[in-house]
Structure 1
Amino acid sequence: MKNHTSTKDVLGHPRGLLYLFFAELWERFSFYGMRALLVLYMTKHLLFTDEMSFGIYAAYMSLVYVTPMIGGMLADKVLGFRKAIVLGGVLMALGHFFLTFEQPIFFYGSLSLIIIGNGFFKPNISSFVGKLYNEGDTRRDAGFTIFYMGINIGGAVAPLLCAWLAELYGWHYGFVLAGIGMLLGLLVFKKGLNNNVFDEHGAVPNLAVYNQKRFGIKMGSLITVCALLFVPVFALIVRYHQFEHYLVWIVSLFLVLYIINVLRNVTVSERQKLLVAVYFTVLYTVFSAIFEQAGSSLTLFADRNVNLIGINAAQTNSINSSFIILFAIPFSMLWMYLNKINKNPNSVIKFGIGVALLGLGFVVFAMSAYQVDEFAKTPMLYLIIGYLVLTMGELFLSPIGLSKITELSPTKYVAFIMGVWFSANFYGHFFAGKIANLTTVSEGDLGMFSNGLLGEITTFITGMSSEVILSKEPIFHQLYSYVSVYSGFGFFTFLIGVLVMIFSKKIKRMMQNVH
């Protein structure tokens, strides 16, 4: 049975894509609007230290991407995509609105509601996009790139508007606007359901299981109750983020055991493709750990050490998404054109290019130190060019990864494997917090990137030596801590991307008919 008919196509794609595009746009508006404010809110308003703020931010952002594994499984077995997306959206909206209350219980509880809500929303709306296309449909990559543009329209506009409101009227107005964005996303999705644009896709997979009672409550309703009961659990994990590494081990054990179980219950062909999906997820973890400095250390770098023109530090979070908007459609058209002439590089090569460009982007951030002024401020141009380069890398990797995961996953496990894909962000944010902490300054100590080979790499890329910096004012020490970390991680990330391309052929063979 076909997943769509040509009469339901809009601009060459299934009509349902349009509704999912706008639903995800508004959901990401809410998410990125709040994210842009969070570290600055903690350091400037709540007066948390850099280390504590990075820890809370990393714990929150990593948990946001571990819950999709659970949300994906529950959608596969009980809820279906539709009900999971609605439940997730409601929880996230509540989380944004509760951030307007300043008591600690509301602060940590709000982050927990968003964490749990995202687990139901994020993997299932992405999997829904995959369901709109037949297997082998050459429009799939282009469709996911368009969907990805919707994510980034929300991501570009939200920091500008939410940060503007926060600066003009107060932090809480920015958080309220983020919550309104989430409600708009829910309304768009409900309109799509009412207009029946998704045909039979995303409905409850088994009504008997959904209506089955446990403790006198239907399974579908019990999931909602359990989601609310876990709010204080995740709130405590964020509050005591220094113990999060125990959760990392628990999640890793669960992932390994569940994936082994899946591998034992699929065909040889499906097993090989699933192993490639795991490989892509590992690469995405590396990408995420470096890329996600954007919401933490890069925001503080922009605030403290960049001569910003026309925007504030929170609004710099929109630069990446703005470039995505500019280039998503051209990239989508490029993949379709290269398909027609049989010159489209395979997905492994695209991943390698993406990782290499990410590394180059951070090298550009580090090179800004060559033009530092007497106030330890660097030109904004380097920040913009660095974001441009890493955005190109993101377009080579992230939307392609979304597309390939839906193709490489066994059909009955697709939402769970999509959750595994998003777990890369869980690990990525956990390690991103560790990397961000390397940028904090201790008196007389410039960190591990100031000595030996790492110190030589830093000096080559930034033009700054640790000996000269130690003789300057503390604000220069802070600048050095940022650019030294960016130069080291940028250099080694670039090398990883090159190695991925060199060893791509074997991985491509394991993908079989998936390009």
Structure 2
Amino acid sequence: MFFSVTNTHNCYFLSQFATTILPDVSDTYIAPKQYLMEQNITKGDDIFGHPKGLLYLFFAELWERFSFYGMRALLVLYMTKYLLYSDQMAFGVYAAYMSLVYVTPMIGGMIADKILGFRKAIMLGGVLMALGHFFLTFEHPIFFYGSLSLIIIGNGFFKPNISSFVGKLYKEGDTRRDSGFTIFYMGINIGGAVAPLLCAWLAELYGWHFGFVLAGIGMLLGLLVFKGGLNKNVFDNHGLVPDDSVYNRKIMGITQGNLIVYGAIISIPVFACIVYFHEIEHYIVWVVTLFLTGYIVYILKNVGSSERKKLMVAIYFTILYTLFSAIFEQAGSSLTLFADRNVNLVGMNAAQTNSINSGFIILLAIPFSMLWTSLNRINKSPNSVIKFGLGLIFLGGGFAIFGMAGHYVDELAKTPMLFLITGYLVLTIGELFLSPIGLSKITELSPMKYLAFIMGVWFSANFYGHYFAGKIAKLTSVPDGDLGLFSRGILGDITEFVTGLSVSEIQLKEAVFHQLYTYVSVYSGFGVLTITIGLLVVVLSSPIKKMMGNVN
């Protein structure tokens, strides 16, 4: 169906509608030449105002996230219900695994920048991740920890480079960038929404390992989509090996490209041991911090004044994202057990509740994409610093709502599912204010020469976030008779104000109420803390915005 549009404003609206609602349809809408010139769009190379490559990256990331979130939804429940790990043990393994999943992107980003290029890094990472999911079907500790290690290493090559690839599709200053990243982010969450529902359904009906197999199939589909894009040359010359002479340079008779593959295989037992001996993870945190600090200082010394200021803002955003991640990532650990033990679930099991957040992203990503585009057109869009502050405020609000569920607890220590769903809705709004915008800004604020590494630094926020998320989750698992840190002093007062539960009343009840109290008290305390920090970010946004230069 063809549209004939003569009014520039209507042309713009229809183009954005097609961009967001129908990203997978071929070029059936022909925009006026004026609009194409304004947006730097080449009609032959774009689909409804966005590069064709975005479509393939969208679906490749969708299937990769399907595999990742499908397994993630099952992991803590698999450990506590099938492997019979204690909550403390399960939280420790989960936190170590999830944090390492986001530290390896720094290494993978550097390797892609210097040697592999985006294309080879993404393919290598996808193969390793697929093997990791399939090996989870073997019931042996070596395969369990080895599988987690394969996914950790594979994600390091895949995750930062596919996100950087999206940024490469847009020229500097291209106003479509935020909209494109929001669409890409929607692909992530389609996979994240569907995977827990299907994988958890299979796991419950036929056994845990069938859920893991389905996750592996999802990863293979992602690889096939990406390979299809390469075959059709939709990425032009982006993502190729940066320097063939460096890639083919031989060390001990082996090319550097092949050495990377061998190194990835050799590192499998190393990461497996770190996850198994997760108590030593704090040493890894120190090592990563020293490495990051040293390399960032090196970059700061080798860039100009303007780039240096922008890079400092990128680091500031990464610190804020670390806080966001530490609170948000209760979703895969303590919130899953909270849903299993203390929520009256209707229509889904505890593992499937992991799809709620992604489901809301799917519903809200298109309106948010259109919102940013519309506000940009009239120069009313809040700058990125304010968006980050609002993101933290909404995140804190979501966890405060989880805490408010305590007002309506029944005689079995169960709370209404409405609070779980509403809390997820509010924190999802916070996520859309912060996470996709952060991805977009990192690609703009980073020196081009170090883009993939800085993208890896951005994902390191998830490494630190998951490390601290594990500490927060452990606060919800306390010895019998102990109601935890948030039951005392001013923290106890905040808990009682938000949840309506007093320590004296809870202590007179059975243990199941004690467990409920630890959940809602931790969520209330960190919810209020996050709201406070978000307000400070908004109030102090002006000097940070000045450092960003021409980046909004």
TM-score of the two chains, using structure 2 as the length reference: 0.93
Shift of residue 6, structure 1, vs aligned partner = 2.7
Shift of residue 496, structure 1, vs aligned partner = 0.4
CA distance in 2, matches of 1:6, 1:417: 32
Q: Which residue of 1 aligns with 2:20?
A: none
Q: Secondary structure at the match of 2:471?
A: helix
Q: Which residue of 2 aligns with 1:218?
A: 255
Q: Is the 8 A contact 1:365 1:386 kept in 2?
A: yes
Deviations 1:203-227 (A, max 9, x none): 0000000000012111001000000
| Among 74, 82, 86, the residue aligned to 1:37 | 74
Shift of residue 441, structure 1, vs aligned partner = 2.8
Deviations 1:181-219 (A, max 9, x none): 000000000000000000000000000000000121110
Q: Which residue of 1 aligns with 2:149?
A: 112
Deviations 1:320-343 (A, max 9, x none): 000000000110000000011110
Matched, 1:393 2:430: yes
Q: Is the 8 A contact 1:356 1:498 kept in 2?
A: yes
| Among 73, 77, 81, the residue aligned to 2:118 | 81
Q: Which residue of 2 aligns with 1:149?
A: 186
Greater shift, 436-445 or 237-246, is seen at 436-445
CA distance in 1, matches of 2:421, 2:47: 34
Q: Unaligned regions of 5+ residues in structure 1, if any?
A: none
Deviations 1:384-414 (A, max 9, x none): 0000000000000000000000000000000
Matched, 1:338 2:357: no
Q: Secondary structure at the match of 2:404?
A: helix
Amino acid corresponding to residue 270 of structure 1 in structure 2? E
Amino acid corresponding to residue 48 of structure 2 in structure 1? L
Q: Is the 8 A contact 1:354 1:394 kept in 2?
A: yes
CA distance in 2, matches of 1:386, 1:198: 39
Amino acid corresponding to residue 378 of structure 2 in structure 1? I
| Among 166, 170, 176, the residue aligned to 1:129 | 166
Matched, 1:485 2:522: yes
Matched, 1:499 2:536: yes
Matched, 1:162 2:195: no
Q: Counterparts in 2 of 1:77-476, with a 5 A limit?
A: 77-476=114-513
Q: Is the 8 A contact 1:3 1:131 kept in 2?
A: no
Deviations 1:442-462 (A, max 9, x none): 111101100000000000000
Q: Is the 8 A contact 1:160 1:315 kept in 2?
A: yes
Amino acid corresponding to residue 249 of structure 2 in structure 1? Q
Q: Is the 8 A contact 1:4 1:133 kept in 2?
A: no
Amino acid corresponding to residue 254 of structure 2 in structure 1? I
Q: Which residue of 1 aligns with 2:28?
A: none
Q: Is the 8 A contact 1:86 1:186 kept in 2?
A: yes
Q: Which residue of 1 aligns with 2:30?
A: none
Q: Which residue of 1 aligns with 2:8?
A: none
| Among 18, 42, 58, the residue aligned to 2:95 | 58
Shift of residue 3, structure 1, vs aligned partner = 9.3
Amino acid corresponding to residue 215 of structure 2 in structure 1? A
Q: Is the 8 A contact 1:376 1:476 kept in 2?
A: yes
CA distance in 1, matches of 2:485, 2:387: 32
Deviations 1:97-138 (A, max 9, x none): 000001000000000000000000000000000000010000
Q: Is the 8 A contact 2:41 2:49 kept in 1?
A: no
Q: Is the 8 A contact 2:40 2:174 kept in 1?
A: no
Amino acid corresponding to residue 351 of structure 1 in structure 2? F
**How many residues are paired up?**
514
CA distance in 1, matches of 2:154, 2:251: 22
Moved over 3 A (4+): none
Shift of residue 4, structure 1, vs aligned partner = 6.7
Q: Is the 8 A contact 1:33 1:178 kept in 2?
A: yes
CA distance in 1, matches of 2:45, 2:305: 36
Amino acid corresponding to residue 107 of structure 1 in structure 2? F
TM-score of the two chains, using structure 1 as the length reference: 0.99
CA distance in 1, matches of 2:100, 2:365: 28
Amino acid corresponding to residue 486 of structure 1 in structure 2? Y
Q: Secondary structure at the match of 1:292?
A: helix
Q: Is the 8 A contact 2:104 2:153 kept in 1?
A: yes
CA distance in 2, matches of 1:373, 1:235: 42
CA distance in 2, matches of 1:226, 1:340: 48
Q: Is the 8 A contact 1:3 1:132 kept in 2?
A: no
Amino acid corresponding to residue 244 of structure 2 in structure 1? L
Shift of residue 7, structure 1, vs aligned partner = 1.6
Q: Is the 8 A contact 1:33 1:159 kept in 2?
A: yes
Deviations 1:345-367 (A, max 9, x none): 00000000000100000000000
Q: Secondary structure at the match of 2:331?
A: coil
Q: Secondary structure at the match of 1:512?
A: coil
Q: Unaligned regions of 5+ residues in structure 2, if any?
A: 1-38
Q: Secondary structure at the match of 1:404?
A: helix
Shift of residue 5, structure 1, vs aligned partner = 2.6
Deviations 1:469-502 (A, max 9, x none): 0110100000000000000000000000000000
Amino acid corresponding to residue 376 of structure 1 in structure 2? A
CA distance in 1, matches of 2:421, 2:264: 40
Amino acid corresponding to residue 334 of structure 2 in structure 1? S
Deviations 1:255-307 (A, max 9, x none): 00000000000000000000000000000000000000000000000000000
CA distance in 2, matches of 1:118, 1:159: 19
